[in-house]
A and B are shown apart, each in its own frame.
Chain A
Amino acid sequence: MSVDAPSVSLDVVERLALPFDILCDVDAAVVRQFGLLHTGGNPHGGDTTVPAMFLIGSEGKVLWRRVAQRIQDRPDPREILDAIERLAAAP
């Protein structure tokens, strides 16, 4: 999900042929709800989100998370897949 308008995200989904949906939190309400607001973080002056990932189990609880400390922090896809595999293997 991002704070982009649906039309922007539709373009991204189509261009990259993404197999998942992008949720559109245009006024950053959910970003705020999750405590991830980066005020003025968009280069055009708007608010955006701190980059973050939550792996959520079927009861709605966080199983694993990563929250960026700096703009360039991104977990390696391998690290995410490892976390998913480890949690899937756990009882």
Chain B
Amino acid sequence: MQGTLTTNPVNLTDAEQGTRRPSKAYLIGPLLALLSIPAYLVWLDVSLLRSTALQSFALMIAGTVVGLMTLKTDRRRRVKAAAIGTGGFLLLGTGMFFFATKLPQPAGAPEVGARVPGFTLPDQTGQPVSLASLYQRGATLLVFYRGHW
């Protein structure tokens, strides 16, 4: 009985301190998760990071973990909302990265060993160029890219 009497006031002081200085720690998770966007754009030129977004996933996962850890000690509604939001952002980001960016599978693109279709197209100055005229001069790397916009 005496034990409970002595611990109760201690708990009260803790709770009072909690209300006097509300912790902003719950903002760390969402902040980490949001940093995943600039982190992806900064390293767009590094092929590995462009194709895997490792740094962005690390930030989103770290943000979600931090959010769940904060939730253990701070049960306020805004803390819950931040943790749920961060986790949702991770799910949304994963979905966008892996599924929304899927491309149609090439239908009959020439395989290794196959002959390429012949064609003639204008270059950037309007001069017609045939593909054969390029590879007959030596091995040619033909790059199809999505264009500038």
Contact = CB atoms under 8 A, between A and B. Distances in A.
A53 B141 contact: yes
Given A49-B146, A67-B106, A70-B102, A56 B135 contact: yes
Interface residues of A, number: 63
Contact of B108 (A3, A35, A68, A79): A35
A36 B106 contact: yes
Interface string A38-62: 1101111000111111111111111
Nearest to B141: A55
A47 to B, nearest CB: 10
Interface residues of B, number: 49
B132 interface: yes
Interface of B is mostly: loop
Given A53-B141, A71-B101, A84-B139, A63 B124 contact: no
Contacts, number: 177
A9 B121 CA distance: 13
Contacts of B48: 76
Contacts of B144: 1-2, 31, 34, 36, 49-53
Interface string B119-135: 10111111001011011
A35 B107 CA distance: 5
A33 B106 CA distance: 11
Nearest to B107: A35
B149 A30 contact: no
Interface of A: 1-4, 6, 8-10, 12-13, 21-25, 29-31, 33-39, 41-44, 48-65, 67-77, 79-80, 84, 87-88
